[in-house]
Amino acid sequence: MTATVEVAAPGRTYPVHVGGGLTGRVDELLGAAPPGARNAAVVHPPSVARHAGAVAASLGRLGLAVHRFEVPDGEAAKRLDVVAELYERFAAVPMHRPDPVVAVGGGATTDAAGFAAATWLRGVPLVNVPTTVLGMVDAAVGGKTGVDLPAGKNLVGAFHQPLAVVADLDTLASLPAAELRSGLAEVVKAGLIADPALGDRVAADAAARGLAGAAALAGGVAWLAPHIEAAIRIKARVVGADEREASLREILNYGHTLGHALERLAGYEGLRHGEAISIGMVFAARVAELAGVAPEGIADGHRALLAAVGLPTGGVPYGPDEVLDAMAGDKKARGGIRLVLLREPGRPEVLPAPDRPVLVEALRAVAAP
């Protein structure tokens, strides 16, 4: 079964297709190549070469000359020099304005390839084919593209909505359990900000399948389908109401102010995005308690929920000064750190950060693993 979620963003309305066996059907799902297109650039890391091959063959059936370009795996793709190399390869084709860029891979790939598409010839068509849970529920949907700098994560980027997103659940079957857990952090986040029952369902299913400790999942990945679809629907609603993060869309950054700071301090290595966001959500919940925004117990509720999925809820190895300096570089900062906090699950609000002693105490709460 294939589900289709419509993202009705002001810049473009487009479908997100979710189901099995979709990488070989991209031509059917698109229906036709963009008018005037003659080429397609399939951008992918080496780890998903097989899936990229299926996508390339599918695009060939639309009459396009398909060119495959590899980028590094993971966060190493999100560098300006990687995007600059893509520009040179696009120029060598040459890629013209109707020619689509097709990103096949995880969130780092769709971010980097999407930024290349947004800026090549001032914008060419983009199709995202995410192959991770994180990519499906977050990075590939909503039009955010970008790369990292030493000064911070995603500081250079553009809003560029895709023509379509094709989320083939079969691509998740070979993911390590740690990568599935990392992606589920964004699903739990979607539940915490908009549908608390979703987080509970994910935690229950993850626990039933031994995700918290097993090297391999029992029962495959079909159980993920309704959770992924639900998280995409939440993001679609938010993006439809606020495409460019002027107000409401900032709630999607729950846990990200600390999470992005931790990723930066780790040098974008050794700490997965979802792991950092998991710790960031516990931190935000503790801040909300200490500041009187939320009742006592919300942080413990977060810890129980995230631990059931096998995600970390602490273990920050950096001092408060170092962490707070890194947090000050967050994109939401407006004359100071701003945080997404929950008054209760399902009731997020973007607020100025409380005084430093509150933040330091909340950081101490996530210092121990």
The residues carrying an active-site annotation are 122, 144, 186, 235, 245, 249, 253, 256, 260, 273
Containing 129, the helix (H) or strand (E) segment is: strand 126-130
On whether the CB atoms of residues 41 and 100 are closer than 8 A, the answer is yes
Number of other residues whose CB lies within 10 A of the CB of residue 125:
21
Beta strand 101-105 pairing with 39-44: parallel
Q: What angle do CA 286, 287, 293 make, to 5 degrees?
A: 105
CB 132 within 8 A of CB 173: no
Angle at 60 between CA 59 and CA 66, to 5 degrees: 85
CB of 300 closer than 8 Å to CB of 210: no
Beta strands in 234-281 (DSSP E): none
Query: Nearest to residue 313, comparing CAs of 285, 340, 341, 292?
Result: 285
Q: How far apart are CA 50 and CA 39, in angstroms?
A: 20
Per the listing, tokens 């990292």 go with 148
Token duo for residue 124: 């060419």
Q: What is the distance between the alpha carbons of residues 147 and 158, in angstroms, rounded to a whole number?
A: 10
Looking at residue 204, its amino acid is A
292: Cβ–Cβ under 8 A, 6 or more apart, which residues?
none
Position of tokens 């600390």?
Answer: 258
Q: Nearest 5 degrees, angle CA 348-CA 111-CA 253?
A: 10
Helix (H, G, I), strand (E, B) or coil at 149: strand
Closest CA to 42 of 5, 4, 95: 95
